[in-house]
Amino acid sequence: MTISQARTQGTPSTQTDTEIELQGLWRVVVLNDPVNLMSYVVLVFKKVFGFDEQKARRHMLEVHEQGRSVVWTGLREKAEAYAFTLQQWHLTAMLEPDETH
């Protein structure tokens, strides 16, 4: 076996942890905070996600009563953009992998 043959037959390709983390769906989670008024949170959900009043209020109440609400699920890049936008509106938002899929 020549050196070039050994190089082409080398180790099988492997995915890095970063590649695995970027695949799949991600959740945007809004956490409860003692600062923002409930009406303000409803307003932000309507502006950022285009939720109607009922859906925005449902998510706001979930945040208020359960301490968190999953407001959006999708690809990581878009999830990061939503989380960043919510943080700009002074809401506490984070990402978590959606392991149901």
Q: Give the pLDDT of residue 17.
A: 52
Q: Give the pLDDT of residue 21.
A: 53
- CA 55 to CA 61: how far, in whole Å? 10
Residue 66 lies in a domain: yes
Q: Is the pLDDT of residue 14 over 70?
A: no
Say how many domains are in the chain: 1
Q: Give the pLDDT of residue 82.
A: 98
Domain range for residue 59?
Answer: 37-101
Mean pLDDT of 50-67: 98
Residue 43 lies in a domain: yes
- CA 97 to CA 23: how far, in whole Å? 9
Q: What DSSP string describes 49-89?
A: H---HHHHHHHHHHHHHHSEEEEEEEEHHHHHHHHHHHHHT
Question: What CATH number does the domain containing 100 carry?
Answer: 3.30.1390.10
Residue bearing the bigger pLDDT, 97 or 4? 97
Residue 57 lies in a domain: yes
- CA 47 to CA 53: how far, in whole Å? 11
Residue 46 lies in a domain: yes
Q: Give the pLDDT of residue 9.
A: 54
